Amino acid sequence: SIEDIFRHHVPSQLKSRFLVARRRLHWIGERLEQQLEKCFGSLQRVYFSSKFITSFQNIIHSFKWSSLPGVFSAIQDTASDIPNICAKDCILNEISEELLYKVSNIIPKPFDTKIWSQLGNLLIESVTKKIAIHMFCSSEMSIEERQAKLGRSVLDDAKRYSKLTTRCSTVLDGTATDGNFYDYFFDLLSFKSPQHKVNQKQFFY
């Protein structure tokens, strides 16, 4: 199994990159499956009608990573070959990117500081990682229990960041007493200027 390969055959200094590469193969498999359904309709309906479809589906199936929860639980927090990030965070970051890609029409460029504040970035990162942990990297509870636990965790995030937003506002308008942290709170709520440049030709013509 892939868990055995991970534990016994992948050198410790390569495990983080292995995780990232394996998850990206899974993502590619999902994209290929979607394209196959668009081209040929229901996979169940055409599965036995074409050797090509059968062969292609087998390839897609080999890309899937159904054993991720077992691998995730075996990862050591400190084992990583990628600087400044633990191995578990490597896979959580990958899944977070997948989630954000799926909702890119609703949440465009979530880490673009010209569109989102730092506070917004932190909230998006926190929520997507919680979704990754509870819905993709855990199998200890039933899906209903994991959904309930995720809901409570996201609600806690909403409360915490709502209070932080209020705190930022009170500091910036001068009604709070911790003015020494003004720059910190200002950075949390601010956006970076796109700094558009207009040359002389554009300006006059």
Compute mean pLDDT per 10 residues along the chain, 205 residues long, and list them. 56 68 85 78 56 75 77 64 67 89 86 84 92 87 90 94 87 68 81 61 45
State how far the Cα of 63 lies from the Cα of 51, in Å rounded to an integer: 19
State how far the Cα of 5 lies from the Cα of 21, in Å rounded to an integer: 14
State how far the Cα of 100 lies from the Cα of 110, in Å rounded to an integer: 8
Instruction: Note the pLDDT of residue 157.
Output: 93
Instruction: Note the pLDDT of residue 126.
Output: 93
At 129, the amino acid letter reads K
Q: Name residues whose C-beta falls within 8 Å of residue 194's C-beta, 6 or more positions apart in sequence.
A: 114
Structure tokens at 51: 């050797």
Instruction: Note the pLDDT of residue 160.
Output: 92
Instruction: Note the pLDDT of residue 151.
Output: 94
Structure tokens at 182: 């003004």
Instruction: Note the pLDDT of residue 55.
Output: 76
Instruction: Note the pLDDT of residue 9.
Output: 56
Instruction: Note the pLDDT of residue 183.
Output: 80
